């Protein structure tokens, strides 16, 4: 293996690793705040990427119907839940947030899709179509069972995953799509060609990770979210609403998923069910980090990305096998070192 | 004296087990009221349900408003704070972050002043403002829990066994702080194992047994109640 190939594999590994790192952070965040192992995390990658690709090709993305449906269901449930205490501002809030907002977005998407819109517009529209699904899903499925056990929550999230996969097939069809890159340029880093898009992926990942760091370390809102993760009852005693924290965590997780999908859509062909395997690697990185440490999750994700690139080069048919078997010793080692995550 | 909080027919269950059964409590707008009783009588359960952490049946009025259905955060916003028996600190965060989160829902615009005030009351916390809550001693943890509750400038402060597990000298400090808070006009509901000390600083008291309130009245009467002396107060 000469140094050109090494650099090439490293580049590949870093790109994939970046995406896994983002997803791992989302897994850790969501679990810490809501105790939900959100299996559908990866589906947001596919939805983000495919919605974006559809907009680029001038077709209306089917995901808009899911957005509209989720909004209407969430809003209707909210009306039922609050029926005894409905005030004017509450009614207006629900109407605006759960009916007008998603339906307007749906309309915008239908009108804008056939037009030749700028790249950034398509990107922003894809994000605003997919990201709100996160908080809606939380409100519909998970908030009513907030005090359920981790296992029950996991089963529910598997349910959400299968639903998203099934609907994904309906919305996007069985064929794969690849989006056009934001910048077509290529650079040469020594002997290795580096595409501008891959630099974009790594740059955006770095920016997002720094953003997370600042949000949790420096802002009261970030600390409040962390507080829910550290001690949920303590958080509610100072007036941090658990359901607000849940919605925020789901918003961030959906954002991370969708932006990852949009960023890698020009680099790889995405299918309606591609998200699962991508998400799984982020998930494994989150496990490596014991669902607790953000830096460990990022390090684990980058390592998985590189291991994957290297094994793809030597034995591409066994790529996944190699990656997941490499992970086993780490997991065994972890389970020996930290047999229990104590719950207080 | 105006009434601040009224609980009527309050019942709380853990699954099928009824831990608090049809109790009635009335708290005035100032002064200390104490809730005493043996281990497992249901004191902590009562406080948690008044705070809204545990769902309860019955009726709850605060300052003339029905808060029976209000979630915890709305009760915090109205001025109810609880220092729970478990303290519920944010252990992996610094002392200062714990305090600043104390005014997340209420009094945020005066957070800076409130922080100085808490540091004035608990100088120990100021020295350790960057230390992680997890590394504090038992007494310091109690101070931090009280300080965090005070950051919101509550109108009603509920304290669940503030002297639990503390050395006698620190217990004396804590009681001094509790009476200071009372003198500053905060209404306090105090749960204490040390019933005599609690009745000495309180104006009224409630006695709980097996989830029910069996006796209540002015503290000066309860402290001389022969039956209470036998079961809770010992020889004074
Ligand atoms: N989470 C729970 N699940 C089931 N039962 C509980 C739970 N918490 C408390 N109990 C039960 O409810 C009853 C009242 O408990 P509570 O903690 O309110 O008592 P307490 O008066 O505060 O006692 P202590 O003085 O020991 O703190 C006890 O019998 C206890 O075992
Ligand atoms: Mg107790």
* SS3 state at B233: helix
A252, A148 in Cβ contact below 8 A?
no
The residue to mutate among B42, B159, B207, B210, having the most atoms of ligand 1 within 8 angstroms of its beta carbon, is B42
**pLDDT tens across the length of chain A (344 residues):** 577 888 888 888 899 999 999 999 999 899 989 989 999 999 999 999 999 999 999 999 999 999 999 999 999 999 998 888 788 999 999 999 999 999 999 999 999 999 988 999 999 999 999 999 999 999 999 999 888 899 999 999 999 999 999 999 999 999 999 888 887 778 777 777 788 888 899 999 999 999 999 999 899 999 999 999 899 999 999 999 989 999 999 999 999 999 999 999 998 899 999 999 899 888 888 888 777 778 888 888 998 898 888 888 888 777 778 777 877 777 787 777 655 544 44
- How far from each other are the two terminal CA atoms of chain B, in whole angstroms? 30
ipTM computed for the complex = 0.94
Q: Report the relative pairing of strands B31-37 and B204-209 from DSSP bridges.
A: parallel
State the residue range of the domain holding A19. Answer: 3-53+150-178+194-337
Please indicate whether residue B41, judged by its CB atom, sits closer than 6 Å to ligand 1: yes
Closest to A60 in 3D by CA, of A131, A113, A121, A118: A113
Chain A residues in contact with B101 by the CB 8 A cut-off are 220, 223-224, 227, 235, 238, 240
What does the domain layout of chain B look like in residue ranges? Answer: 3-79+155-233, 91-152
Please indicate whether residue B195, judged by its CB atom, sits closer than 6 Å to ligand 1: no
Residues B76, A239: C-beta atoms closer than 8 Å: yes
Residues A238, B82: C-beta atoms closer than 8 Å: no
| Residue B150 Cα, gap to closest chain A Cα (Å) | 10
Residues A237, B82: C-beta atoms closer than 8 Å: yes
Give residue B61 CA to ligand 2 midpoint distance, Å.
Answer: 23
The answer to whether position A342 is within a domain reads no
The four Cα atoms B72, B77, B79, B80 give a dihedral, to 10 degrees, of 10
Please indicate whether residue B39, judged by its CB atom, sits closer than 6 Å to ligand 1: yes
Number of structural domains, chain A? 1
Distance CA B163, CA B171 (A): 5
Dmax (CA) of chain A:
71
The answer to whether position A97 is within a domain reads no
B83, B129 in Cβ contact below 8 A?
no
The answer to whether position A119 is within a domain reads no
How far apart, in Å, are the Cα atoms of B10 and each of A285, B24, B99? 48, 7, 32
B52, B71 in Cβ contact below 8 A?
yes
The answer to whether position A275 is within a domain reads yes
Domain B3-79+155-233, CATH number (from 3.40.50.20, 3.40.50.300, 3.40.640.10, 3.30.70.3270): 3.40.50.300
pLDDT digit string (tens) for B126-174? 999 999 999 999 999 999 999 999 999 999 999 999 998 888 888 998 9
């Amino acid at each position: 293996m000469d140094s050109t190939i090494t650099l090439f594999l490293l580049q590949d590994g870093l790109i994939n690793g970046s995406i896994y790192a983002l997803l791992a952070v989302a897994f850790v965040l969501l679990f810490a705040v809501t105790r939900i192992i959100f299996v559908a995390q990866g589906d947001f990658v596919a939805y983000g990427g495919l919605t974006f690709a559809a907009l680029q090709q001038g077709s209306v993305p089917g995901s808009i119907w899911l957005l509209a449906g989720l909004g209407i269901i969430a809003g209707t449930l909210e009306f039922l839940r609050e029926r005894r205490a409905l005030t004017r501002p509450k009614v207006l809030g629900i109407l605006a947030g759960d009916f007008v907002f998603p339906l307007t977005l749906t309309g915008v998407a239908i009108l804008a899709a056939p037009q030749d819109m700028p790249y950034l517009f398509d990107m922003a529209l894809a994000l605003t179509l997919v990201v709100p699904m996160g908080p809606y899903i939380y409100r519909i499925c998970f908030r009513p069972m907030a005090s359920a056990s981790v296992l029950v929550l996991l089963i529910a999230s598997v349910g959400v995953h299968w639903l998203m996969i099934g609907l994904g097939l309906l919305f996007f069809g069985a064929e794969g799509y690849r989006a056009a890159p934001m910048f077509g340029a290529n650079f040469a880093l020594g002997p290795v060609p580096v595409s501008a898009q891959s630099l974009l992926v790594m740059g955006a990942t770095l920016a997002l990770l720094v953003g997370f760091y600042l949000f949790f370390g420096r802002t009261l809102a970030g600390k409040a979210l962390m507080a829910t993760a550290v001690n949920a009852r303590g958080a509610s005693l100072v007036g941090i609403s658990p359901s607000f924290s849940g919605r925020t965590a789901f918003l961030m997780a959906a954002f991370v998923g969708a932006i990852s999908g949009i960023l890698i859509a020009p680099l790889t062909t995405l299918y309606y069910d591609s998200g699962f395997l991508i998400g799984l690697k982020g998930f494994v990185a989150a496990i490596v980090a014991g669902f607790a440490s953000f830096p460990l999750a990022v390090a684990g994700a980058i390592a998985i990305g590189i291991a994957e690139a290297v094994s793809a080069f030597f034995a591409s048919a066994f790529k996944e096998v190699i990656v997941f078997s490499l992970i086993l010793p780490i997991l065994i080692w972890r389970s020996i070192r930290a047999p229990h995550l104590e719950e207080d | 004296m105006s009434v601040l909080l009224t609980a009527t027919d309050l019942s709380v269950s853990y699954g099928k087990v009824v831990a608090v059964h049809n109790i009635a409590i009335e708290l005035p707008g100032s002064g200390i009221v104490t809730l005493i009783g043996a281990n497992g009588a249901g004191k902590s359960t009562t406080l948690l349900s008044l705070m809204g952490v545990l769902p309860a049946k019955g009726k709850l009025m605060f300052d003339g408003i029905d808060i029976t259905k209000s979630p915890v955060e709305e009760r915090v916003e109205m001025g109810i704070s609880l220092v729970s028996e478990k303290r519920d600190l944010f252990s992996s965060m610094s002392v200062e972050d714990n305090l600043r989160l104390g005014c997340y829902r209420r009094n945020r615009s005066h957070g800076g002043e409130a922080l100085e005030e808490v540091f004035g009351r608990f100088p120990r916390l100021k020295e350790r403002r960057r230390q992680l809550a997890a590394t504090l001693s038992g007494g310091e943890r109690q101070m931090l829990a009280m300080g965090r509750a005070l950051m919101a400038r509550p109108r009603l402060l509920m304290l669940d066994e503030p002297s639990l597990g503390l050395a006698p000298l620190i217990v004396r400090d804590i009681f001094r702080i509790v009476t200071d808070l009372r003198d500053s006009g905060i209404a306090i509901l105090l749960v204490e194992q040390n019933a005599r000390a609690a009745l000495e600083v309180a104006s009224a008291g409630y006695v709980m047994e097996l989830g029910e309130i069996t006796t209540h009245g002015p503290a000066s009467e309860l402290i001389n109640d022969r039956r209470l002396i036998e079961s809770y107060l010992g020889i004074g």
